[in-house]
Structure 1
Amino acid sequence: MYETMQKKLIPALCISLLALASVNTTQAAVSQAQANRLGNSLTPFGAIRAGNPEGTIPRWTGGDTTIPDGYQGNGDHHVNPYPDDKPRYVVTADNIEEYRDMLPDGVAALINRYPETFKVRVLPTRRTHTAPDHVVENTKDNATSASLVDGGNGIKNAFGGHPFPILHGTSEEKAKQAIWNHTTRWRGRYVKREFSEVVVVGGKFRPVTMRQEIFFNWNMKGGSTETLDNIANYYLSTVIAPEQYAGGGILTHDTLDQVKEPRKAWGFSAGEVRRAPSLGYDAPIASSGGLRTVDDTDIYNGAPDRFNWEYKGLEEKIIPYNNFELTSDKYTYDEVLGDQHLNPDLMRWELHRVHVVEGILREDSRHLYHKRVFYIDEDSWNIAVADQYDDKGNLWRVSTGMLKNFYDLPGVINALDVFHDLHKGLYHVSGLVNESGSARLYEDEFPGKRYFSPFTLRRRLSDN
């Protein structure tokens, strides 16, 4: 009898192990023939090269690398290369139904929430995104090698480019691939910048100014999948004003698989460096006045394991794009920041194709948000708009990444991040530079990984 049971159990066990293996590692690579579409019918980053039939979205012709007159270089934010562009149309509360299908739900909600003041100026679509040759080459290599792991909560066999330029597989796999493309999108190798964050309450605000350094290990010069050691990037942010908070900040080591190995984080102030174990998911960001969670930062970051994800398709939507005026030193913070939202006359919106991804909170998980919807730019893989819903199904918060082409990167990334709470009528902005005179500095070389260790940080603080 024991032998009979053993004969039945062994095949069943093998089947179970195979099933378990398929859960832990999802084969996500495409064929070489499919990958050869990159740079041909598709852009090198996986977007449709052709424009739309109506001509309102143009053909991608390589992005915009033309340096505008007066450009000072290395992150200069003062020059708008398209000063003569005029709006094709302006969406307001009076005509919103005419354009409703082209608006992300969150953008429509902002128009309806602030009908007297919020408007969407839609200017000619300019597909300005591009990236260096090494990103193009790595992206094509990744297409035939990258895989989702741990049910899509991590990735492997990819480096230095978009891991999944051609989405495929199940709806859930496509959704997670799109999210990982956002998380690992090209933002340089080593960047230094100073910027301010504000919470705007009835038009009043007090800037908190920060110095930020990020080394993107994912893009390390001469690196590979073998050298990543599950680290996507090293992040160091230090408060420099107001004076009572100056010198404090956070240090993080962001992992590629944050379920297998959670983000490592340390907080520091007054010469002390302490481990911060809870810096993830819906933990609130202090400088945001509670209007932004940790995983709202950069519009979205971190482990996706608390939500069930669904890929809704590629759609044409009006999203913020090429927002040079918002960061220009021609304007003060008072001119950029309105009582309830950014100055609509300085915002630029364009019609682009976006990947729409929806996440529903898992029954066995906890989070402030019950549902999230991301609108991801097909060219750059930036999440341009994120809609966040409460547990009653009401649209609660709207995040917008005010995208802009950075010539020294080169590429399109967020110039500002804006977080609206529709219930409270408040908003929070991160990335303001108009009054700072500073710029993002993009460099290939970096101080070394030891520079971003808590021990080195502790030594630097004690020396100061």
Structure 2
Amino acid sequence: MLLAASPTTQAKIDPEVAAKLGNALTPVGAEKKANVSGSIPAWDGQVVETMDKEGFLKNPFQQDKPLYVVNSKNINQYSDVLTEGHKALIKAFPDSYKIPVYKTRRTTVYSTELYEKAKLDAVAAELANNGNGVVNFKGNVPFPVPANGLEVYWNHINRFKGGSMQWGSILAPVQTSGSYSLIKVQDKLVWPDYLLDSGGFNADNLLYFYTRKVTAPARMTGNVQLVREPLDHIKEARGAWVYNAGQRRVRRAPTIAYDGPAFASEGMRTSDNIDMFNGSPDRYNMKLLGKKEMLIPYNAYQVASRDLKYSDIIKKGHINQEYVRYELHRVWVVEATLKEGERHIYAKRVFYVDEDTWQIAHVDHYDERGNLWRVGEGYMAFFSKPMMSWYSLGTLYDLIARRYFVDWLMNEESKPIDFSRAARSRDFTPSSLRRSGR
């Protein structure tokens, strides 16, 4: 690995370095060329159609077969390209957990507008407040040529996710016995630029609005969460509210941050586990360990197939590994260590960020004794409309309790993600929660 320091502030990069964007580097900062062996191909910028007529994901690579499968018998052969979390999962479930590895396909492509903004941001964007915010940027990749771990983290936080999204999906806390309950939710995620009106919000320090409403089971129906996410959490704390249907009241929810229990997760993950890692980075020292070739979940279309039932995917111990796809990709590796005097149930996190998407693909979580505790995976999928990369599935495994949480299941849902839904500022106020949950 190429080691790099983690300064709290970072000067703008040299224009000569920024000039590599679109040439030696992709427009968002990944290496264009193939690796030495050719197992990671060169990026060609071609758009692959990944969505059917209804707007659901489809698998454009159905003809692909695994090149090889990593399991308990050959794990030592592939140790260099496995995370510690992968090794622990294979050890925990030696008879069932495996990693099917397919041909690497670099499918991520963004719009020309986003590429142009990335080039401008490369020479203008800066970290603010000791790395707890970003200023002087217009697009979704403020640091296409990162110099430290904080810049990599902010690229993940700011990456393009459609602008305005609304969808219904299933969450499932899975117990040690393999039993589980399905929690149905409706989510909205909207960036300020995609609102029909400004609503008087401070757009200079506003990243996005997010709501989650529980629609099943009956005991949880009507509970709603609202988050106004700032760009700089030191300048302005996250705004969070919850409507409790049983109490019929809206209350502020300051615990929806850091290691506070995540909404509708039955205590099986923290608030900052959502989207693999989110929120203010101020409790951690983030060290950039460099770039490395690793196996990560990628082009995960089969696991999103509408031919599958939720019971086909959710199994005892872990999801059904028959339907997942791993590929060899270059990733940025960042080690986040809890600062002295700060508190969090995760004393250390090591996360792996795909160079093409700036999306976290895998996170290893360690407890205060230094033991690997939880393993998170985000199963990347490219959405050809509106040209963005996100997750078709997410998992968080508890290696100690042998439980896990699975998120973003849509196989049996009747409607796809809606990227065209218009939103107004009044949809993201505390009073809107009461109307929504009623």
TM-score (norm 2): 0.93
- Give the secondary structure class of the aligned counterpart of 2:264: helix
Which sits farther off after the overlay, 178-187 or 403-412? 403-412
Unaligned runs of at least 5 residues, structure 2: 1-5
Name the structure 2 match of 1:12. Answer: none
Name the CA distance, whole Å, in 1 between partners of 2:193 and 2:353: 20
Are 2:50 and 2:382, in contact at CA under 8 Å, matched by a contact in 1?
Answer: no
Name the structure 2 match of 1:88. Answer: 67
Alignment of 1:239-250 (within 5 A): 239-250=214-225
- 1:67 CA displacement: 5.2
Amino acid at match of 2:319: L
Change (3 A) 1:123 1:220: farther
Name the CA distance, whole Å, in 1 between partners of 2:50 and 2:318: 31
Are 1:397 and 1:420, in contact at CA under 8 Å, matched by a contact in 2?
Answer: yes
- 1:31 CA displacement: 2.3
- 1:325 CA displacement: 1.2
Name the CA distance, whole Å, in 2 between partners of 1:373 and 1:220: 35
Change (3 A) 1:376 1:218: farther
Name the CA distance, whole Å, in 2 between partners of 1:456 and 1:34: 46
Are 1:24 and 1:149, in contact at CA under 8 Å, matched by a contact in 2?
Answer: no
Check if 1:344 corresponds to 2:312. Answer: no
Name the structure 1 match of 2:3. Answer: none
* Larger radius of gyration between Structure 1 and Structure 2: 1
Change (3 A) 1:107 1:433: same
Aligned residues: 428
Deviations 1:117-136 (A, max 9, x none): 00000000000011122211
Q: Which of 273, 276, 286 matches 1:296? A: 273
Amino acid at match of 2:134: I
Name the structure 1 match of 2:209. Answer: 234
Check if 1:112 corresponds to 2:91. Answer: yes
Deviations 1:169-197 (A, max 9, x none): xxxxx100000000001101100000010
Amino acid at match of 1:180: W
Deviations 1:154-180 (A, max 9, x none): 110012220000012xxxxx1000000
TM-score (norm 1): 0.88
Name the structure 2 match of 1:368. Answer: 345
Deviations 1:208-244 (A, max 9, x none): 0000011023777999xx9732110000111111122
Q: Which of 193, 197, 216 matches 2:167? A: 193
Check if 1:353 corresponds to 2:339. Answer: no
Amino acid at match of 1:346: Y
Name the structure 1 match of 2:191. Answer: 216
- 1:404 CA displacement: 0.8
Are 2:197 and 2:425, in contact at CA under 8 Å, matched by a contact in 1?
Answer: no
Change (3 A) 1:220 1:53: farther
Name the CA distance, whole Å, in 2 between partners of 1:417 and 1:399: 7
Are 1:62 and 1:130, in contact at CA under 8 Å, matched by a contact in 2?
Answer: yes
Change (3 A) 1:439 1:103: same
- Give the secondary structure class of the aligned counterpart of 2:397: strand
Name the structure 2 match of 1:277. Answer: 254
Amino acid at match of 2:29: G
Name the structure 2 match of 1:28. Answer: 11
Name the structure 2 match of 1:11. Answer: none
Amino acid at match of 1:283: G
Unaligned runs of at least 5 residues, structure 1: 1-22, 169-173
Deviations 1:54-96 (A, max 9, x none): 010000000433357xx2143x13x211011011110001000
- Give the secondary structure class of the aligned counterpart of 1:106: helix
Check if 1:448 corresponds to 2:424. Answer: yes
- Give the secondary structure class of the aligned counterpart of 1:116: coil
Which sits farther off after the overlay, 433-442 or 174-183? 433-442
Name the CA distance, whole Å, in 2 between partners of 1:221 and 1:301: 26
Which sits farther off after the overlay, 31-40 or 291-300? 31-40
Instruction: Flag as ranges the 4+ runs of structure 1 deviating above 6 A.
Output: 218-223
Structure with the largest fraction of helix: 1
Change (3 A) 1:217 1:388: same
Deviations 1:319-357 (A, max 9, x none): 000111111111111111111111111010000000000
- Give the secondary structure class of the aligned counterpart of 2:426: helix
Name the CA distance, whole Å, in 2 between partners of 1:289 and 1:130: 36
Change (3 A) 1:273 1:91: same
Change (3 A) 1:130 1:219: farther
Alignment of 1:57-206 (within 5 A): 57-66=40-49, 71-74=52-55, 76-77=56-57, 79-168=58-147, 174-201=148-175, 202-206=177-181
Name the CA distance, whole Å, in 1 between partners of 2:46 and 2:403: 36
Name the CA distance, whole Å, in 2 between partners of 1:25 and 1:424: 36
